[in-house]
Amino acid sequence: MNVSEIQKATGFEQSIVSHNLRRLKSCGFINLEIKGKYRYYKLNKKTIQLILNLIDNHMKKNCLMIIKGMRKK
């Protein structure tokens, strides 16, 4: 997606979207592809998938127990 598409989808101001995309790119979470005058941003699946796996494992071990009313010993 380009900045305008992301801005429309999220409802955030264009400057906020651009600023955060710059941060995400510098952290390696997204990739940038330039086509003509447009810049398209895409999730870096290698990086993001590792993070999502960590979150899933944490949720399974900790948070789901809380939702079920159980406490971790």
User: Average pLDDT in the 62-72 region?
Assistant: 68
Give me the pLDDT at residue 62, please.
80
Its CATH class, for the domain covering 3-67, is mainly alpha
What residues have CB less than 8 Å from 3, skipping those under 6 apart? Answer: 14, 17, 18, 21, 39, 41
pTM of the model: 0.68
- For 25-56, the pLDDT digits (tens) are 999 999 999 999 999 999 999 988 999 999 99
Residue 17 predicted with pLDDT over 60: yes
